[in-house]
Amino acid sequence: MLYVVIIFLWVAILLYLLLGGADYGAGIIELFTSKKNKSITRETLYSAIGPIWEANHMWLIIAIVILFVGFPVIYTTMSVNLHIPLTIMLLGIIARGTAFTFRHYDAVVDDMQNLYNPIFAWSSFITPLFLGIIAGSAVSGHIDPDARSFMDAYIFSWLHWFSVAVGLFTVAICGFLASVYLIGEANEEHDRLRFAHKAQFFNIAAVLCGILVFIAAYVENIPLIEWVFGNWVGRIAILSATLSLVLMWYLLYQGRTFLLRPLAGFQVTMILLTTTYRHFPNIIILKNGGYLSLMEHSGQEKTIYALGMALLLGSILILPALFYLIYSFQKKEEIVH
């Protein structure tokens, strides 16, 4: 049952990155959109993220609950040593959701929109930035369980070049996902081309930020190259992601959009697989050379069994409801059109 729980944890993180990441990316795109195109961009992203934006954080909640219940030592270490970036990320989630709701459903369109819009856009940038910082910090070896000062325990555990580079890479990935998703939502050809150019921009940004991640890893003696290319799973995943990227841009050049979203999702899946496979089951690498393992630092066997059963039974109820939610919004759009 432990493997069932771990699979649910990995899938929850993946789905949050794919769905929540595209959600954040919509705000990031707005941040990098000219004033004359902001209005049509907002209308398009409302249509794209409307069906799932409130449900996206379900995957983050599932991941947190799994860590809290099934892996209390890991949860405690992250929530204590990384409480500052975690707090900033959660504040970003709250600010973003609040701004989105008020600017979209506010009965009166007034000057307050000038406040809601930048809050939504900047919190869409800040939240995935710190999500990436947290992920990078967990495997960077900077978390010091023997720290004796505030700075060593709560600042230098996450504020370093590698984690910041991972954060920027996460932002670029979110912008790329959203751009690809929005291509299929645009009604006009010039809007589709505009989102295609955004996808190219964020694709280049992701490549550059990825290079920055490797440079930061080299400077800080993090064996990222060995993690990624030192095993056959990583090499196959990177090759598959590269080939799918070439295919995606070929289809886009041909004007075909039906496979763009699955291909973009596949690329992100391969990236996550590559970065997590090599040091599995170690989820946190500590500064003293130790680690926290999903296998060795799990909860009691009865707790893991109950958690696994709850996840299996819950998925039977949650997944059909989520699919019906998306389906109902699509039918509503068809009726409106």
At 230 the pLDDT is: 86
* Per-residue burial over 250-264, b = 16 or more CB atoms within 10 Å of its CB, e = otherwise: eebeeeebeebbebb
Q: Percentage of the chain with pLDDT > 70?
A: 89
- Token reading at 191: 């809007």
Region 229-240: mean pLDDT is 90
Number of domains in the chain: 1
At 31 the pLDDT is: 85
SS3 189: helix
Could you list the residue range(s) of the whole structural domain that residue 80 is in?
Answer: 2-336
Confidence band of 330 (pLDDT split at 50, 70, 90): low
pTM score of the predicted model:
0.89
Query: Which burial class, exposed, middle or buried, applies to 4 when counting CB atoms under 10 A from its CB (0-12, 13-18, 19+)?
Result: middle
At 329 the pLDDT is: 61
In tens, the pLDDT along 181-234 reads 888 777 677 777 888 888 889 989 999 999 999 999 999 999 999 988 888 998
In tens, the pLDDT along 273-303 reads 998 888 888 899 999 888 999 999 988 999 9
At 52 the pLDDT is: 59
